[in-house]
Amino acid sequence: IVVKMESYLFPFDSLICMLLGISFTVLFTLLLVFIIVPAIFGVSFGIRRLYMKSLIKLFEVSELMLRIIAKEPVSLEQEIQDMRRGGAEPEFDMSDIFYFCRRGVESIVDDEVTKRFTAEELESWNLLTRSNYNFHHISTRLTALWGVGVLIRYGFLLPLRVTLAFTGVGLLVVLTSIVGLFPNGRMKNYLSDKVHLMCYRICVRALTAIITYHDSENKPKNGGICVANHTSPIDVIILASDGCYAMVGQVHGGLMGVIQRAMVKACPHIWFERSEVKDRHLVAKRLSDHIADKSKLPILIFPEGTCINNTSVMMFKKGSFEIGCRVYPVAIKYDPRFGDAFWNSSKFGMVNYLLRMMSSWAIVCSVWYLPPMSRMEGEDAVQFANRVKAAIARKGGLADLLWDGGLKRGKVKEVFKEEQQKLYSKVLVGSSEDCSRS
């Protein structure tokens, strides 16, 4: 009986193995033809842009289904009257104080700093529950549309993107390790550039990223520093898929450490030990030595030091502006309708964040290369940093803020408190002098 059962099951097992083999062959062929080969040559078939246009049409349909009527602003008198019961006469009422308390709390919560560390608000729903959990309950048709989107994103796009991500990272580690075996010279630099570009372009496709680059004639060149506003860890992939850079960062362990050690074999990236990061003189020296060698790639730095939510540019740390080299500003602006690229590191870990990115509709952004800027005569590092920051903010349509991004996790620095105290003391001194004169 056992022999007969095995004879019956054997053809069935063979059929399953054959179907799986055919499926993997077809999948690998599609990845090779539509992903890897275009990434090697830096070309695109336009599939992602067609996908983006289809999503825009889909969002327009969902917006029509919502039919949300915006609430008109209400005057102070009208809102207080609404809070009172029974149409009380227009005189002081104890309930009036709740209006002022609420407005005061709203002003504290909605300050210009805190709201830069939360997800950007959308004008319309993009069919993701992470942007608004309640919208998909409004109508049956909208619920069905949202459900189809969930199946597409998690059933098809997410597995495909995870496969591409592992492919890109795996190729980066293997190929950079192989290139590292070559002797230093033009051939090694050429192969390193090609390998990095190919792998980063595969990783870009793993996010279905649609990127528009502007003013490419201003792209960073060797012997300079590229500075950009910082929204997400994927900013590095966005920029490195269009040009080669020397990365700067702290040495990590685990998978990130494996990637770092492989990359530095092929290209002179700048990795610091944990004990070296706080040594400003050592950091400045290593950056200066790298820039002095014109054969080395431009350094990529995000001077904000933390991720901001795609609405503003906050204070640039002055370290990279003290070196005295040419600076190449770059502005990055994401379209939040397709997926929120902002990384709220206090809320999501790296793996969780990347899964959210890969389960979004797409990552759509614009990159502007600004003309190179140099430190002017009589200008200190802080003034130079503020001038570069202002140029990036104007180009990207972002708010230019003077606040330190470190306020995301730390308290307000004593320097800022002292500035406000000095301003207030000047007002008091000025008022007292005017009174004495009178």
Predicted confidence at residue 12, as pLDDT, reads 54
Q: Which of 235, 202, 404 is nearest to 334 (CA)?
A: 235
Q: DSSP assignment of 394-429, as one string?
A: HHHT-EE--S-GGGGTSPPPHHHHHHHHHHHHHHHH
Q: How far is CA 129 from CA 143, 147, 356, 435, in A?
A: 11, 11, 11, 61
Of 237, 269, 271, 262, which is closest to residue 175 (Cα–Cα)?
A: 262
Half-sphere exposure of 138 (CA within 13 A, CB side): 18
Structure tokens at 309: 């939510």
HEC profile of 104-140: HHHHHHCCCCHHHHCCCCCCCCCCCCCCCCCHHHCCH
Look up residue 41 and give its two tokens.
């040559």
Q: How far apart are CA 105 and CA 178, in angstroms?
A: 59
pLDDT computed for residue 13 by the predictor: 61
pLDDT at position 120, please? 59
Q: Return d(Cα 318, Cα 312) in angstroms, integer.
A: 18
Q: If 0-12 CB within 10 Å is exposed, 13-18 middle and 19+ buried, where does residue 145 land?
A: middle
Are 197 and 175 in contact by the 8 Å Cβ rule? The answer is: no
Query: Could you state, in order of their start, the residue ranges of all structural domains in the chain?
Result: 209-407
pLDDT at 5 (0 to 100):
46
pLDDT at 237: 92
Angle between the N-to-C axes of helices 158-179 and 2-31, in degrees from 0 to 180, rounded to the nearest 10: 70
> Quick one: which of 190, 189, 238, 221 has its CA closest to 357?
238
Q: What is the pLDDT along the chain (438 residues), one digit of tens a residue?
A: 444 444 544 565 676 777 777 776 776 677 766 667 777 667 777 777 888 888 878 777 776 766 543 444 555 455 555 555 544 454 545 555 665 666 666 655 555 555 555 665 665 666 666 555 455 556 677 777 778 888 888 888 898 889 889 988 999 999 999 998 989 888 998 999 999 999 999 999 888 888 999 999 999 998 889 999 999 889 999 999 998 999 888 877 777 888 888 888 888 888 887 666 666 778 888 888 888 888 889 999 999 888 888 888 888 888 888 887 889 999 999 988 888 888 887 788 888 888 888 888 889 999 999 999 998 888 888 899 999 999 999 999 988 887 776 655 556 566 666 666 676 566 556 544 554 555
Tell me what pLDDT residue 76 has. Answer: 47
Q: How far is residue 146's CA from residue 153's CA, in Å, rounded to a whole number?
A: 10
Spatial strand order of the sheet with 299-301 comes to: 209-214, 363-369, 326-334, 224-228, 299-301, 246-250, 270-272
Structure tokens at 204: 């870009």
Give the total residue count for the chain.
438
CB contact at 8 A, 312 and 393: yes
